[in-house]
């Protein structure tokens, strides 16, 4: 396994037995770990175990023995009247390899279920990670808005004192009050978004009761492989869980097609028959029968399965293309969001903050108007919000790429394990 994945993969192995109480602070690690406990994810994993338990018990004989009893009464010729009985025991064998085809189909179905369960878990991890980062962003924006309310209150107090000293106009006071009201409205809106995203994260984590949670801690910063290796990563993305699940489902459909054909193959039946014959006779017969697939070769059943095979193979090919495109876009977003964050953090924010500080200093020295200060504060508020959003976008891009890459490594390990198990059979 790649060294850059060794530590981050421990997040996927996190086991959290207890549920998160409503309103409790949840770290990113906990969100990822609890996402694995979602009912649908656990149900998909139980389905794998249930299928394998029964599939492993498929017998080598494809038909059950048949016992036939025919009791009767001899009525003709009075001297021979009496009770008679015929009994037979027969066993059928499919000579077209049905028993092996059934086991192969069941094995393929189990592998498809396992891949589907891992694909569902991957989707749940991605959803929980995105929901946590979105909640963190909403909470940070709320703090920015709350700080702006405090600044707006200080600015209003300053303008009111200036107005009392006839150094500011009533229009200046009205503008300051308007700005304070806008800041309060921004807080109310940010609170609503934070609550909604807290509920969304709780839903992804399957928190009982549907109550919201809050995000605790800093943004995750997972390590990614160097950009020089991304081309090979994109090519290998065709083995992601989503694509693998489609490919294994297509394989399972092909196995079902073989099973459907074998089910209508040549049948051999062998058995014995015993007959009691009045007055004291006992007759023993041997029974042999062969059913030849001369007319009905299962065309009706095979037609539907063949159609599903064609659809599944097309979906599998599409899933490979989609997985590679998804990986390519994810890695591109890592670069793109990183560049955006760098410009906002290193260039835009310092410039806006310097401009605001200069305007505020000029205003206090009565060399700038209140309108200029308010415009500067609005610009600074918007820039801080953009910085928070850029940090969240960059973190989500890195986390998404990291989760996909970790899933790719996990899928390779699972495929190697299945190959070793298959070689041992």
pLDDT at 378 > cutoff 90: no
* 305: in domain: yes
Count of structural domains within the chain: 1
122-136, 244-258, 327-341, 348-362: least confident range: 348-362
- Write out pLDDT tens, residues 181-226: 998 999 999 999 999 999 999 998 888 877 888 999 999 999 888 8
Helix 370-424 and helix 299-343, axial crossing angle in degrees, nearest 10:
140
Number of DSSP helices (H) and strands (E) in the chain, helices first: 10, 6
Burial per residue of 21-37, b for 16 or more beta-carbon CB atoms within 10 angstroms, e otherwise: eeeeebebebbbbbbbe
Domain housing 18: 3-416
Greater confidence (155 vs 266) lies with: 266
> Nearest CA to 405 among 230, 243, 204?
230
> Nearest CA to 118 among 423, 425, 406?
406
* 424: in domain: no
pTM here is 0.80
The pLDDT of residue 414: 59
Task: Give the residues across from 93 on adjacent strands.
Answer: 268
The pLDDT of residue 353: 87
* Cβ atoms of residues 110 and 89 within 8 Å: no
The pLDDT of residue 6: 35
What confidence tier does 420 reach under pLDDT thresholds 50, 70, 90? Answer: very low
The pLDDT of residue 235: 86
* 423: in domain: no
* 425: in domain: no
Highest mean pLDDT among 145-149, 157-161, 168-172, 334-338: 334-338
Q: DSSP assignment of 24-87, as one string? A: -EE-HHHHHHHHTT-HHHHHHHHHHHHHHHHHTT--S-SS--EEEEEEEEE-SSGGG-EEEEEE
pLDDT at 335 > cutoff 90: yes
Residue 137: asked if its preceding bond is cis (omega within 30°), the reply is no
* 170: in domain: yes
* 363: in domain: yes
What confidence tier does 279 reach under pLDDT thresholds 50, 70, 90? Answer: low
* 422: in domain: no
Which CATH number characterizes residue 75's domain? Answer: 1.20.1600.10
- In this prediction, residues 362-388 reach a mean pLDDT of 80
What confidence tier does 150 reach under pLDDT thresholds 50, 70, 90? Answer: confident
pLDDT at 424 > cutoff 50: no
């Amino acid at each position: 396994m790649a060294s850059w994945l060794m530590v981050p993969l421990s997040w996927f192995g996190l086991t959290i037995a207890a549920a998160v109480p409503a309103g409790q602070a949840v770290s990113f690690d906990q969100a990822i770990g609890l996402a694995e406990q979602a009912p649908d994810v656990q149900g998909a994993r139980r389905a794998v175990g249930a299928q394998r338990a029964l599939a492993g018990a498929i017998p080598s004989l494809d038909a059950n023995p048949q016992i036939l009893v025919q009791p009767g009464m001899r009525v003709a010729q009075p001297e021979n009247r009496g009770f008679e009985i015929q009994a037979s025991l027969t066993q059928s064998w499919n000579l077209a390899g049905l028993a092996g085809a059934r086991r192969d189909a069941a094995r393929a179905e189990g592998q498809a279920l396992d891949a589907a369960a891992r694909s569902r878990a991957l989707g749940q991890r991605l959803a929980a990670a995105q929901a946590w980062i979105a909640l963190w962003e909403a909470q940070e924006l709320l703090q920015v808005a709350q700080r702006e309310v405090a600044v707006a209150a200080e600015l209003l107090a300053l303008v009111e004192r200036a107005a009392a000293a006839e150094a500011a106009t009533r229009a200046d006071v009205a503008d300051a009050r308007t700005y304070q009201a806008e800041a309060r409205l921004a807080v109310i809106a940010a609170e609503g978004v934070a609550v909604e995203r807290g509920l969304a994260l709780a839903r992804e984590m399957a928190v009982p009761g549907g109550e919201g949670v809050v995000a605790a801690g800093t943004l995750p910063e997972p390590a990614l492989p160097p950009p020089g290796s991304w081309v090979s990563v994109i090519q290998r993305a065709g083995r992601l869980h989503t694509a693998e699940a489609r490919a294994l489902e297509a394989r399972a459909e092909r196995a079902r097609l073989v099973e459907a054909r074998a089910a209508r193959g040549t049948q051999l039946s062998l058995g014995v028959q015993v007959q009691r014959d009045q007055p004291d006779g006992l007759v023993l017969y041997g029974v042999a029968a062969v059913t030849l697939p001369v007319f009905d070769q299962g065309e009706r059943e095979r037609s539907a399965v063949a159609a599903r095979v064609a659809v599944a193979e097309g979906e599998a090919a599409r899933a490979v293309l989609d997985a590679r495109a998804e990986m390519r876009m994810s890695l591109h977003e890592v670069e793109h969001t990183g560049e955006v964050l760098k410009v906002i953090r290193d260039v835009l924010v310092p410039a806006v903050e310097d401009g605001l500080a200069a305007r505020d200093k000029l205003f206090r020295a009565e060399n700038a108007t209140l309108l200029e200060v308010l415009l500067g504060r609005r610009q600074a508020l918007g820039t801080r919000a953009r910085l928070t959003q850029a940090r969240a976008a960059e973190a989500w891009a890195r986390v998404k790429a990291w989760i996909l890459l970790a899933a790719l490594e996990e899928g390779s390990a699972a495929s190697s394990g299945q190959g070793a198990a298959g070689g041992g059979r």
